[in-house]
């Protein structure tokens, strides 16, 4: 990615190619049946722009991140086999000290998305101080491996969702700290709510 911020996935960067993934969120839902749940095995729809699969500026502003650090964009270079697109957006609070990151990886199949998520799990350590939202299904987990960036990662059909909050360091900053700030309860609540909101786009 072009921005200097840390990637929630470390070396497995979601090189945002959301032209097809964002569309999944906006057009992947039919009825409110089990086919629209986070654990569904059917593929999400891919019509529309992949950037619709990441959190919008309006949502970010509503939860305290009014500044756009990285405008929603897509990429076709994902570094993941059989995952053809990705999308990302990043926002900051008014002081530029805390960032909200939203990313979606669009894979060609549920199997490919599962493989990508499994690869990530092997490189990070779960952050047990914050539970992943039940609404995201059993694949969801939280990691603080790249603290001060705290990240929720999950799979919804052929999509891999990533929502993160970077505390103490702006989302567009390359600054690092020796002792990462601890995620507060309020920030944790904002993070999990944002992940659920992002997942809702995968309908």
Look at residues 8, 22, 15, 21 and name the one whose alpha carbon lies nearest to residue 75: 15
Specify if 30 maps to a domain.
yes
Q: Report how many helices (DSSP H) and strands (DSSP E) the chain contains, helices first.
A: 4, 6
Specify if 3 maps to a domain.
no
Average pLDDT over residues 137-145: 96
The confidence score (pLDDT) of residue 15 equals 30
pLDDT of 4 > 50? The answer is no
pLDDT of 105 > 80? The answer is yes
Number of domains in the chain: 1
Specify if 6 maps to a domain.
no
Average pLDDT over residues 82-109: 93
Enter the tokens of residue 128. 């047990």
Look at residues 12, 39, 2, 3 and name the one whose alpha carbon lies nearest to residue 151: 12
Element (H, E) at 25: helix 21-27
**pLDDT category, 168, cuts 50, 70, 90?**
confident
Structural domain boundaries, residue 168: 21-200
**pLDDT category, 169, cuts 50, 70, 90?**
low
User: In Å, what is the CA distance from 167 to each residue of 5, 99, 147, 173, 175?
Assistant: 12, 7, 8, 11, 12
Q: Are strands 99-106 and 67-75 parallel, antiparallel or unpaired?
A: unpaired
């Amino acid at each position: 990615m072009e921005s200097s911020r840390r990637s929630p996935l470390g070396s497995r960067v979601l090189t945002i190619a959301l032209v097809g993934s964002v569309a999944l969120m906006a057009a992947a839902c039919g009825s409110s049946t089990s086919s629209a749940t986070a654990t569904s095995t059917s593929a999400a729809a891919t019509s529309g722009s992949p950037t619709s699969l990441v959190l919008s500026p309006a949502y970010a502003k509503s939860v305290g991140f009014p500044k756009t650090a990285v405008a929603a964009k897509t990429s076709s270079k994902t570094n993941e086999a059989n995952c053809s697109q990705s999308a990302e957006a990043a926002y900051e609070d008014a002081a530029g000290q805390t960032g909200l990151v939203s990313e979606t990886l669009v894979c060609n199949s549920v199997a490919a998305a599962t493989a990508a998520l499994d690869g990530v799990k092997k490189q990070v350590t779960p952050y047990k101080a914050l539970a992943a939202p039940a609404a995201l299904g059993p694949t969801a987990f939280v990691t603080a491996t790249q603290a001060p960036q705290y990240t929720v990662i999950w799979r919804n059909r052929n999509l891999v969702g990533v929502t993160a909050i970077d505390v103490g360091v702006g989302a567009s900053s390359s600054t690092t700290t020796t002792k990462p700030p601890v995620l507060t309860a309020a920030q944790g609540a904002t993070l999990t709510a944002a992940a659920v909101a992002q997942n809702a786009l995968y309908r």
